[in-house]
């Protein structure tokens, strides 16, 4: 199993390009199921989760062809409207195939994802929403069995704000008869990116990015070409790394407009940030007192993203005072705390709040990655710890970050992959 070894204490300097967004790519790959015509995607990130989704689609009969950096998917026919347990257990986002399969094939069998490291994560809203659109759903031996000759447009109010739930229902509704109105919908930029792709395929959608999305069903969708939006969480992770290590870093191919809550917190924490429409420059002079402790609370978009909570905690471990970090989206997303403590951090967890008292320095040690964003937090902690930090189980990191050690090395970090 690969590990990462990091020698901390180097300020970061230089420029890196940010990849396409994992959490936009995964639903958009599933959108290919909605049409027999080819869907060509640009800026698809090279990630293990993207490979897993491609292999799931391929099992269903979707052809994929790579050419000049783009990928064309053709779901001329869907042979197998099935997402088996073996796939869903490695990647929960496989649930995103449910809506498109049901809309296109009139049936789908998708394994229930079950809990995962960061929380219970039920999919009841996905199921309730499809039932509201007329689907017959049975839960059978851990599988969702869904049937609908044709889905019927409906008004559905989400009980909880869910990103993939909103995406699943929005995709399903594109081929329904009549109009679907999704209320209390998630507003994440990835939902807007998916809607843009669906609209290019002929879908009639308004309101994506607000909490009320209206989808007028059409009989068929057609082929299209779409470029995946930049990954705002990868962007935020590099910003948090630069805040922590200090230095002067420019990020290219980004969308600063999708990161306002994160940028505000970084500025409060002592970063000097300049944004242009597709670039961000972050500077912080390393030195005592220049890193400020902040309070933050994760919220659905446009609030501070849960997917950035762990990465921001890393610099807070050596900030000037006490940071208070509250996680409100997932019930078990503080697993990085015990690993940060191994590096010498002073953190107490009370309920879903971490109280992080800044210490003078972290010291390198061997730590274990427990989930994707917790791993990114440990990488950042390794960049500031004195001596060597070794991060075990980095397969979590490879699910969602493209060549992270190469990109950090290009900024001067002393980081290497150990087989």
126 binds ligand EPU (CB under 6 A): yes
CB of 315 to ligand EPU, least distance (A): 19
Please name the residue that has the structure tokens 């659109």: 133
Q: Count CA within 13 A, CB hemisphere, residue 29.
A: 32
Kindly identify the residues of this chain, within the stretch 386-415, that bind ligand EPU according to CB under 6 A.
400
Stretch of 33-41, 63-71, 117-125, 338-346 contacting ligand EPU, by CB under 6 A: 117-125
Kindly identify the residues of this chain, within the stretch 10-29, that bind ligand EPU according to CB under 6 A.
23, 26
CB of 172 to ligand EPU, least distance (A): 14
Please name the residue that has the structure tokens 């922590």: 244
Q: How far is CA 151 from each of CA 117, 146, 182, rounded to the nearest angstrom?
A: 34, 11, 15
143: left (phi over 0), alpha (psi -120 to 50) or beta: beta
Rounded to whole angstroms, the Cα distance separating 343 from 105 reads 52
CB of 232 to ligand EPU, least distance (A): 11
- Output the CA angle 208-115-417, nearest 5 degrees: 85
329 binds ligand EPU (CB under 6 A): yes
Site pattern 259..298 for ligand EPU (x: CB under 6 A): ----------------------------------------
Stretch of 37-45, 114-122, 141-149, 273-281 contacting ligand EPU, by CB under 6 A: 114-122
Q: How far is CA 390 from each of CA 5, 278, 382, 414, rounded to the nearest angstrom?
A: 4, 34, 8, 12
CB of 387 to ligand EPU, least distance (A): 29
CB atoms closer than 10 angstroms to residue 311: 29
Q: Which is nearer to ligand EPU, 79 or 124 (CB)?
A: 124
- Tell me if residue 197 is catalytic: no
Stretch of 2-10, 78-86, 155-163, 266-274 contacting ligand EPU, by CB under 6 A: 155-163
CB of 388 to ligand EPU, least distance (A): 27
| Backbone phi, psi, residue 309, to 5° | -60, -45
334, 354 contact by CB (below 8 A): yes
Rounded to whole angstroms, the Cα distance separating 311 from 10 reads 18
> Which residues contact ligand EPU by CB under 6 A?
23, 26, 93, 119-126, 160, 162-165, 186, 306-307, 329-330, 372-373, 400
Active-site amino acid positions: 116
């Amino acid at each position: 199993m690969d590990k990462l070894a990091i020698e901390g204490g180097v300020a970061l300097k230089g420029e890196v390009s940010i990849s396409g967004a994992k959490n936009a790519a995964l639903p958009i790959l599933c959108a290919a199921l909605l049409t027999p015509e080819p869907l060509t995607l640009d800026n698809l990130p090279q990630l293990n989760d993207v490979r897993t989704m491609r292999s799931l689609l391929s099992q269903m009969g979707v052809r994929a062809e790579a050419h000049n950096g783009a990928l064309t998917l053709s779901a001329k026919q869907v042979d197998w409207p099935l997402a088996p347990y073996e796939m869903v257990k490695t990647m929960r986002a496989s649930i995103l195939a449910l809506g498109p399969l049901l809309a296109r094939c009139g049936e789908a069998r998708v394994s229930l994802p079950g809990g995962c490291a960061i929380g219970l994560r039920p999919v009841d809203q996905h199921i309730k929403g499809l039932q509201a659109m007329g689907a017959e759903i049975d839960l059978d031996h851990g599988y969702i069995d869904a049937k609908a000759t044709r889905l019927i447009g409906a008004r559905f109010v989400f009980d909880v704000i869910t990103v993939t739930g909103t995406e699943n229902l929005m995709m399903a509704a594109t081929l329904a008869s009549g109009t679907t109105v999704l209320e209390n919908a998630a507003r994440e930029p990835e939902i807007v990116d998916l809607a843009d792709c669906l609209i290019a395929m002929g879908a009639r959608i308004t309101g994506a990015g607000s909490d009320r999305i209206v989808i007028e069903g059409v009989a068929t969708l057609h082929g299209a070409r779409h470029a995946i939006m930049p990954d705002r969480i990868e962007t935020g992770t590099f910003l948090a790394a630069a805040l922590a290590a200090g230095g002067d870093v420019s990020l290219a191919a980004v969308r600063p407009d999708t990161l306002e809550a994160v940028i505000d917190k970084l500025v409060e924490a002592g970063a000097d940030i300049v944004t242009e429409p597709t670039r961000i420059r972050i500077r912080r002079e390393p030195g005592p007192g220049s890193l400020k402790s902040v309070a933050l609370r994760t919220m659905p978009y446009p609030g501070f993203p849960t997917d950035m909570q762990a990465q921001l905690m890393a610099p807070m471990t050596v900030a000037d005072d006490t940071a208070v970090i509250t996680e409100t989206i997932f019930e078990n997303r503080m697993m990085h705390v015990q690993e940060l403590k191994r590096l010498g951090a002073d953190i107490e967890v009370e309920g879903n709040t971490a109280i992080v008292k800044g210490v003078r320095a972290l010291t390198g040690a061997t730590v274990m990655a427990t989930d994707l964003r917790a791993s990114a937090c440990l990488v950042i902690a390794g960049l500031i710890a004195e001596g060597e930090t070794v991060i075990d189980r980095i397969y979590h990191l490879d699910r969602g970050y493209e060549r992270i050690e190469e990109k950090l090395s290009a900024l001067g970090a002393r980081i290497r992959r150990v087989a």
